Amino acid sequence: MKKNEIKQSNPAVLSDALSDQAWRNSKVGRKFFEPTYGGATSLLRRPYSSAFEEADIVVAGIPFDNATTYRPGCRLGPRAIRAASVQLAELPAFPFAFDPFSKLNVIDSGDFLLNPHQPESIITDIYQQAKSIITSGASLLSMGGDHFISYPLLKAHAEIYGPLSLLQFDAHCDTWTSMGEFDHGTMFLRAIEEGLIDVEHSIQIGLRTHNDLDVGIKQITSPQIHEKGISSVLDEILSHLKGRSVYVSFDIDILDPAFAPGTGTPVSGGIASWQALSLIRGLAPLNMIGLDLVEVSPPFDHAEITAIAAATIIHDWICVRASQVI
């Protein structure tokens, strides 16, 4: 083969314009081949941008884990999820068979700037940065971080949409009575007390820990998921939440530790990755105004099992949102 023929057959390798699309790609909906083992790792290779008003979905990392009660490390979650998402950006979306970015403009805004040494600033800083995105008209897709970040995120969303219907995927209810201002097991009780959550039209999925306090939110436990099956559980979710403004909060510890070892408070008896993905893929009838995915702790992960699951859940949620576009 002649030298000029080699150049023609490998344009992606030889052209600077076709690498590091996370910061070189300025065209809405565009994506191109990039080696999965190289390049800047934005979520799903989406361009880094602060043009919120032009976006349908804005991705943000929230690297905070000062509120954990057991194993730390999920401040590193956003970085790990971005790295684990590269293969999902390479191939057509399965099982959707379309390119979600041809329907939705998704950008990665990087990570929220937080000062963990000034804990009194955390709530306000997350709230204000989230609100700046939401008020632009874009949906916010947040990657934690520990589950406490949901409190200021709910606060920002409720200010725009009013009391929210919470769809919580979790091994824990996170409505225990407070042991302090920063606790990732108490923030939903606080949100309820402040009127941020519409208790009557909210639902918690996958629980397998006990709390004596009943706050009135409908619950479907992990054993019930196994007994009823995914179709039945989806029917209950949709009938309970359809027509509401739904905020989705996904704690990766809903997965059994076999499928998500890299998390701070693992609980045996959870659901499998395929069950979680089936549930997410069935949410298209809902008006989902935001998503956070939390508690991915890379120091306790193995072979990116947890990060890959998290990236796939996020990818599929974006695809579901894209499927809603006519």
CATH of domain 41-323: 3.40.800.10
**Residue 9 in this model has a pLDDT that exceeds 50:** no
**Residue 316 in this model has a pLDDT that exceeds 70:** yes
Q: What is the mean predicted confidence (pLDDT) over 36-61?
A: 94
Q: What are the domain boundaries of the chain?
A: 41-323
Q: Rounded CA gap, 322 and 288, in Å?
A: 12
Q: What is the mean predicted confidence (pLDDT) over 268-278?
A: 98
Reported as a single tens digit per residue, the pLDDT across 55-73 is 999 999 999 999 999 999 9
Q: What is the mean predicted confidence (pLDDT) over 44-61?
A: 96
Q: Rounded CA gap, 118 and 96, in Å?
A: 44
pLDDT at 30: 77
**Residue 35 in this model has a pLDDT that exceeds 90:** no
Reported as a single tens digit per residue, the pLDDT across 227-264 is 999 999 999 999 999 999 999 999 999 999 999 999 99
Q: Rounded CA gap, 188 and 158, in Å?
A: 13
pLDDT class of 17 with cuts at 50, 70, 90 = low
Reported as a single tens digit per residue, the pLDDT across 135-145 is 999 999 999 99
Whether this prediction's pTM lies above 0.85 is answered by yes
Reported as a single tens digit per residue, the pLDDT across 203-236 is 999 999 999 999 999 999 999 999 999 999 999 9
Which residues on adjacent β-strands are paired with residue 204? 168, 219
Structure tokens that stand for 12 in this block:
């992606």
- CB 133, CB 56: distance < 8 Å: no
pLDDT class of 178 with cuts at 50, 70, 90 = confident
- CB 218, CB 203: distance < 8 Å: yes
